[in-house]
Amino acid sequence: MKALILAGGFGKRLRPYTQERPKPLIMVADYPIIVWQIKWLKKYNIDEIILAVGYLKEKIINEIGSGRKFGINVTYVVEEEPLGTGGAIKNAESVLRKEEIFFVLNGDIITNLDPTKLVDKIEEQNAIGALALVPLKSPYGIINFERETGKILEFVEKPYIKDYWINAGVYCLKPSVFDYLPDKGNVEKIGFPDLAKKGKLVGVPFGDVFWKAIDTHKDVEEAERLLKSENFS
Protein backbone atom coordinates (compact mmCIF):
# COMPACT_ATOMS: atom_id res chain seq x y z
CA MET A 1 0.00 0.00 0.00
CA LYS A 2 1.14 3.54 -0.75
CA ALA A 3 1.25 6.68 1.39
CA LEU A 4 1.45 10.28 0.23
CA ILE A 5 3.24 12.67 2.58
CA LEU A 6 2.39 16.35 2.10
CA ALA A 7 5.83 17.90 2.52
CA GLY A 8 5.70 21.09 0.47
CA GLY A 9 4.77 23.77 3.01
CA PHE A 10 6.80 26.81 4.07
CA GLY A 11 6.62 26.21 7.83
CA LYS A 12 6.49 29.96 8.50
CA ARG A 13 5.75 29.59 12.23
CA LEU A 14 8.96 27.59 12.66
CA ARG A 15 11.26 30.30 11.35
CA PRO A 16 14.20 30.76 11.57
CA TYR A 17 14.50 26.93 11.58
CA THR A 18 12.73 26.72 8.23
CA GLN A 19 14.70 29.42 6.46
CA GLU A 20 17.37 26.87 5.60
CA ARG A 21 15.56 23.55 6.15
CA PRO A 22 12.09 22.52 5.00
CA LYS A 23 9.71 21.69 7.83
CA PRO A 24 9.79 17.88 7.34
CA LEU A 25 13.56 17.95 7.96
CA ILE A 26 13.34 19.76 11.29
CA MET A 27 15.10 17.63 13.89
CA VAL A 28 12.97 16.29 16.75
CA ALA A 29 14.62 13.98 19.28
CA ASP A 30 17.46 12.79 17.02
CA TYR A 31 15.46 12.35 13.80
CA PRO A 32 13.87 14.67 11.23
CA ILE A 33 10.06 14.69 11.33
CA ILE A 34 9.90 12.84 8.01
CA VAL A 35 12.12 10.03 9.29
CA TRP A 36 9.79 9.53 12.26
CA GLN A 37 7.00 9.22 9.71
CA ILE A 38 8.89 6.73 7.55
CA LYS A 39 9.71 4.57 10.59
CA TRP A 40 6.05 4.61 11.62
CA LEU A 41 4.74 3.76 8.14
CA LYS A 42 7.23 0.91 7.77
CA LYS A 43 5.99 -0.59 11.03
CA TYR A 44 2.64 -1.08 9.27
CA ASN A 45 4.21 -2.44 6.07
CA ILE A 46 3.70 0.77 4.11
CA ASP A 47 6.92 1.06 2.14
CA GLU A 48 5.82 2.78 -1.08
CA ILE A 49 5.92 6.48 -0.27
CA ILE A 50 5.17 9.50 -2.44
CA LEU A 51 6.55 12.82 -1.26
CA ALA A 52 4.70 15.94 -2.36
CA VAL A 53 7.48 18.53 -2.22
CA GLY A 54 7.74 22.22 -2.97
CA TYR A 55 9.60 24.61 -0.69
CA LEU A 56 13.32 23.70 -0.49
CA LYS A 57 12.49 20.46 -2.28
CA GLU A 58 16.10 19.79 -3.23
CA LYS A 59 17.03 19.36 0.44
CA ILE A 60 14.31 16.76 1.00
CA ILE A 61 15.32 14.91 -2.16
CA ASN A 62 18.98 14.95 -1.13
CA GLU A 63 18.16 13.68 2.37
CA ILE A 64 15.66 10.96 1.47
CA GLY A 65 16.79 10.06 -2.06
CA SER A 66 15.30 6.87 -3.43
CA GLY A 67 14.42 5.74 0.08
CA ARG A 68 16.70 2.71 -0.17
CA LYS A 69 18.64 3.57 2.98
CA PHE A 70 15.33 3.48 4.89
CA GLY A 71 14.15 0.25 3.25
CA ILE A 72 11.41 1.96 1.23
CA ASN A 73 10.74 3.15 -2.30
CA VAL A 74 10.16 6.88 -2.76
CA THR A 75 8.52 8.78 -5.62
CA TYR A 76 8.40 12.57 -5.78
CA VAL A 77 5.69 14.89 -7.05
CA VAL A 78 6.60 18.56 -7.23
CA GLU A 79 4.47 21.63 -6.54
CA GLU A 80 5.75 24.45 -8.73
CA GLU A 81 3.61 26.80 -6.62
CA PRO A 82 1.78 26.34 -3.28
CA LEU A 83 -1.34 24.25 -3.98
CA GLY A 84 -2.82 23.76 -0.51
CA THR A 85 -3.53 20.33 0.94
CA GLY A 86 -6.28 19.49 -1.55
CA GLY A 87 -4.26 20.66 -4.52
CA ALA A 88 -1.21 18.76 -3.32
CA ILE A 89 -3.19 15.50 -3.16
CA LYS A 90 -4.73 16.23 -6.57
CA ASN A 91 -1.25 16.85 -7.96
CA ALA A 92 -0.33 13.25 -7.08
CA GLU A 93 -3.28 11.76 -8.98
CA SER A 94 -1.08 10.34 -11.74
CA VAL A 95 0.73 8.05 -9.28
CA LEU A 96 -2.25 7.15 -7.10
CA ARG A 97 -5.30 6.95 -9.37
CA LYS A 98 -4.87 3.21 -10.03
CA GLU A 99 -4.56 2.28 -6.34
CA GLU A 100 -7.53 0.63 -4.64
CA ILE A 101 -6.81 2.62 -1.50
CA PHE A 102 -3.98 4.81 -0.18
CA PHE A 103 -2.92 6.87 2.81
CA VAL A 104 -2.26 10.61 3.00
CA LEU A 105 -0.62 12.40 5.90
CA ASN A 106 0.48 15.90 6.69
CA GLY A 107 4.24 16.28 6.73
CA ASP A 108 4.39 17.89 10.17
CA ILE A 109 2.92 15.24 12.48
CA ILE A 110 4.47 12.49 14.57
CA THR A 111 2.22 9.68 15.72
CA ASN A 112 2.03 5.98 16.53
CA LEU A 113 -1.67 5.45 15.75
CA ASP A 114 -2.62 2.30 13.83
CA PRO A 115 -3.54 3.38 10.25
CA THR A 116 -4.97 -0.04 9.40
CA LYS A 117 -8.02 0.88 11.45
CA LEU A 118 -8.80 3.49 8.80
CA VAL A 119 -8.77 0.80 6.12
CA ASP A 120 -11.17 -1.34 8.12
CA LYS A 121 -13.56 1.58 8.63
CA ILE A 122 -13.56 2.79 5.04
CA GLU A 123 -14.42 -0.72 3.84
CA GLU A 124 -17.01 -1.30 6.55
CA GLN A 125 -18.88 1.91 5.69
CA ASN A 126 -18.21 1.86 1.93
CA ALA A 127 -16.82 5.38 2.26
CA ILE A 128 -14.47 7.30 -0.01
CA GLY A 129 -12.37 8.66 2.83
CA ALA A 130 -11.58 7.90 6.47
CA LEU A 131 -9.97 10.45 8.79
CA ALA A 132 -8.03 9.70 11.95
CA LEU A 133 -9.35 11.77 14.86
CA VAL A 134 -7.59 12.56 18.13
CA PRO A 135 -9.01 14.24 21.23
CA LEU A 136 -8.56 17.98 21.58
CA LYS A 137 -5.91 18.91 24.12
CA SER A 138 -6.59 22.01 26.15
CA PRO A 139 -3.90 24.67 25.65
CA TYR A 140 -4.30 25.59 29.31
CA GLY A 141 -4.40 23.84 32.64
CA ILE A 142 -7.88 23.65 34.14
CA ILE A 143 -9.31 23.86 37.63
CA ASN A 144 -12.03 21.59 39.00
CA PHE A 145 -14.09 23.19 41.78
CA GLU A 146 -17.36 22.84 43.63
CA ARG A 147 -19.99 24.95 41.95
CA GLU A 148 -21.91 25.74 45.13
CA THR A 149 -19.06 26.63 47.47
CA GLY A 150 -16.32 27.59 45.04
CA LYS A 151 -13.92 25.24 46.83
CA ILE A 152 -11.06 24.27 44.51
CA LEU A 153 -10.66 20.51 44.24
CA GLU A 154 -7.72 20.02 41.88
CA PHE A 155 -5.52 21.45 39.18
CA VAL A 156 -5.28 19.47 35.93
CA GLU A 157 -2.48 20.36 33.54
CA LYS A 158 -3.63 20.65 29.90
CA PRO A 159 -6.08 17.72 29.83
CA TYR A 160 -7.52 16.08 26.75
CA ILE A 161 -11.09 17.21 26.13
CA LYS A 162 -12.52 13.90 24.98
CA ASP A 163 -15.91 15.27 23.96
CA TYR A 164 -14.16 17.11 21.12
CA TRP A 165 -12.11 15.54 18.35
CA ILE A 166 -9.71 17.10 15.87
CA ASN A 167 -8.38 16.09 12.48
CA ALA A 168 -5.13 14.17 13.03
CA GLY A 169 -3.92 14.80 9.48
CA VAL A 170 -3.87 11.08 8.62
CA TYR A 171 -6.27 9.90 5.92
CA CYS A 172 -7.16 6.71 4.10
CA LEU A 173 -8.66 7.46 0.70
CA LYS A 174 -10.07 5.75 -2.37
CA PRO A 175 -9.04 7.16 -5.77
CA SER A 176 -12.56 8.44 -6.43
CA VAL A 177 -11.61 11.21 -3.97
CA PHE A 178 -9.80 12.91 -6.86
CA ASP A 179 -13.18 13.78 -8.37
CA TYR A 180 -13.82 16.03 -5.37
CA LEU A 181 -10.44 17.71 -5.00
CA PRO A 182 -9.51 21.21 -6.15
CA ASP A 183 -6.50 21.97 -8.31
CA LYS A 184 -5.64 24.54 -5.67
CA GLY A 185 -7.00 24.87 -2.16
CA ASN A 186 -7.22 23.03 1.15
CA VAL A 187 -9.00 19.68 1.31
CA GLU A 188 -10.54 20.64 4.64
CA LYS A 189 -12.45 23.44 2.85
CA ILE A 190 -12.91 21.98 -0.64
CA GLY A 191 -13.34 18.24 -0.92
CA PHE A 192 -13.94 16.83 2.53
CA PRO A 193 -17.03 19.00 3.24
CA ASP A 194 -18.68 17.74 0.02
CA LEU A 195 -17.85 14.14 0.87
CA ALA A 196 -19.26 14.62 4.37
CA LYS A 197 -22.54 15.97 2.96
CA LYS A 198 -22.82 12.88 0.76
CA GLY A 199 -22.16 10.57 3.71
CA LYS A 200 -18.93 9.33 2.12
CA LEU A 201 -16.50 10.50 4.80
CA VAL A 202 -15.98 8.70 8.11
CA GLY A 203 -13.92 9.38 11.20
CA VAL A 204 -11.98 6.93 13.36
CA PRO A 205 -11.27 8.14 16.92
CA PHE A 206 -7.94 7.31 18.54
CA GLY A 207 -8.08 8.04 22.23
CA ASP A 208 -4.90 6.52 23.62
CA VAL A 209 -2.14 7.20 21.09
CA PHE A 210 0.85 9.47 20.69
CA TRP A 211 0.10 12.34 18.32
CA LYS A 212 1.86 15.65 17.98
CA ALA A 213 1.73 18.31 15.27
CA ILE A 214 4.94 20.32 14.92
CA ASP A 215 3.81 23.87 14.20
CA THR A 216 5.90 26.05 16.52
CA HIS A 217 9.21 26.08 18.41
CA LYS A 218 7.32 25.09 21.55
CA ASP A 219 5.91 22.05 19.74
CA VAL A 220 9.44 20.90 18.90
CA GLU A 221 10.44 21.10 22.56
CA GLU A 222 7.32 19.31 23.77
CA ALA A 223 7.60 16.59 21.14
CA GLU A 224 11.22 15.94 22.08
CA ARG A 225 10.27 15.56 25.72
CA LEU A 226 7.42 13.18 24.92
CA LEU A 227 9.37 11.11 22.41
CA LYS A 228 12.15 10.56 24.90
CA SER A 229 9.73 9.43 27.55
CA GLU A 230 8.78 5.81 28.15
CA ASN A 231 5.26 6.44 26.87
CA PHE A 232 6.18 6.45 23.19
CA SER A 233 6.50 3.29 21.11
Catalytic residues: 158
DSSP lists the bridge partners of residue 9 as none
| H/E stretch holding 37 | helix 33-43
What amino acid is encoded at 134 in this protein? V
Q: How far apart are CA 216 and CA 197, in angstroms?
A: 33
Strand stretches in the chain, DSSP E? 2-7, 27-28, 31-32, 48-53, 73-78, 102-106, 109-111, 129-137, 142-145, 152-156, 160-173, 201-205, 211-213
**Alpha carbon separation from 181 to 92, 105, 138, 178 (Å, rounded):** 11, 16, 32, 5
Q: Dihedrals φ, ψ of 137, to 5°? A: -95, 130
